[in-house]
Amino acid sequence: MSEARSDRSNRSVSVPWVLEAPTRDERLVMMTAYDFSQARLVEEAGADIVLVGDSLAMVVLGHDDTLAVTVDEMLHHVKAVKRGVQSSLLVADMPYGSFHLGQERTVAEALRFIKEGGAQAVKIEGRRPETVAALVEAEIPVMAHLGLTPQSIHKLGGFRVQGRGDGPRRELLEAARQLEAAGAFSLVLECVPADLASEVTSVVEIPTIGIGAGPHCDGQVLVFHDLLGLEDRISPRFVRRYAELGRDARRALSTFADDVRKGRFPSTEESYDDPSFSTAEPIRKICG
């Protein structure tokens, strides 16, 4: 275990701890989780930050994009994840539509994630410094998100690399500065060229957390289902699959089905017996 990691394991991760990560020259690890058992797994694996991402819409709820998921649906999962998290920082993603209808409504929706869900911070997509400032003013820490922001899929015309070319590059750098000035405590950079992510990382003091943004960010995040090989509809170039749980699960489930059909499951060891039961008695006595 590294010195930095042992420092982290002594206490819960806080927003200031994350904010100061670049000064400790330490890489942040963020993973998504959507339920209790996933939360326990990612925390036990050493995630500094657990994000209940709106990727939930795709990998858990089966939608083709992230637009449909609601605050109520997100909250249901944030609460479950909260029960599995002891010391990682819990961040809730604000879904599409929850921060587009004015600051007051945005703060009210974000407060639900903090008060009802137990999240310690929220994440919002896009260049919205005023919204970030309003949330920070309400004591709600904000993780910003630039580059490929999947909630803008219709505007962007698909899941595409962002920030290529002089204009888009300048715009992204400016947006990063604005979000930092507005009070964001960290910044996710999704699907941008590695050299641009590196430049953003050097011009802002808040930690950058990359996904498809090369190796120079202050931290990295992957979606639970992608890194474990559970999602096979989309396979972006930036995903490294650390396991093939989808394949293993299919194998295990079909073996179970086969065992049931062939009478191999359950065995006597997997069944209960009742010493007071005499086989001469009618069968309904065991069940009743």
Phi and psi (nearest 5°) for 20?
-90, 0
Q: Any residues with CB less than 8 A from the CB of 243 and at least 6 apart, and which?
A: 227, 228, 229
Per-residue binding string, ligand KIV, 233-252, x by CB under 6 A, is --------------------
User: Rule CB under 6 A: is residue 211 a binding residue for ligand KIV?
Assistant: yes
Rounded least distance, CB 189 to ligand KIV, Å = 9
Q: What interhelical angle do 103-115 and 129-137 show, nearest 10?
A: 50
Rounded least distance, CB 152 to ligand KIV, Å = 12
Give the angle 182-183-184 at the CA atoms, nearest 5°: 105
- Residue choice 32, 106, 186, 208 for contact with ligand KIV (CB under 6 A): 32
Residue 87, class by beta-carbon neighbours within 10 Å (0-12 exposed, 13-18 middle, 19+ buried)?
middle
- Residue choice 223, 227, 228, 230 for contact with ligand KIV (CB under 6 A): 223
Q: Distance (Å, rounded) from C-alpha 196 to C-alpha 204?
A: 12
User: Rule CB under 6 A: is residue 201 a binding residue for ligand KIV?
Assistant: no
User: Rule CB under 6 A: is residue 188 a binding residue for ligand KIV?
Assistant: yes
Rounded least distance, CB 221 to ligand KIV, Å = 5
Task: Based on the residue annotation, tell me whether 199 is a catalytic residue of this protein.
Answer: no
Q: Which stretch binds ligand KIV (CB under 6 A): 46-54, 82-90, 126-134, 154-162?
A: 46-54
The tally of CA atoms less than 13 A away on the side-chain side of residue 61 is 19
Q: Distance (Å, rounded) from C-alpha 166 to C-alpha 193?
A: 12
Contact by Cβ (8 Å): 173, 200: yes
Rounded least distance, CB 272 to ligand KIV, Å = 43
Report the residue closest to ligand KIV, judged by CB.
53
Element (H, E) at 144: strand 142-147
Q: Which amino acid is at 153?
A: I
User: Rule CB under 6 A: is residue 60 a binding residue for ligand KIV?
Assistant: no
Give the Å distances, CA to CA, from 80 to 39, 60, 74, 192: 8, 14, 10, 32
- Residue choice 26, 43, 48, 54 for contact with ligand KIV (CB under 6 A): 54
- Residue choice 38, 55, 151, 162 for contact with ligand KIV (CB under 6 A): 55
Reading the block at residue 181, the tokens are 């000035």
- Residue choice 26, 35, 43, 93 for contact with ligand KIV (CB under 6 A): 93
Catalytic one of 190, 199, 231, 281: 190
Q: Which stretch binds ligand KIV (CB under 6 A): 6-14, 17-25, 52-60, 193-201?
A: 52-60
User: Rule CB under 6 A: is residue 231 a binding residue for ligand KIV?
Assistant: no
Reading the block at residue 195, the tokens are 């050299």
User: Rule CB under 6 A: is residue 117 a binding residue for ligand KIV?
Assistant: no
User: What is the set of active-site residues?
Assistant: 190
What residues make contact with ligand KIV under the rule CB under 6 A? 32, 51, 53-55, 93, 188, 211, 221, 223
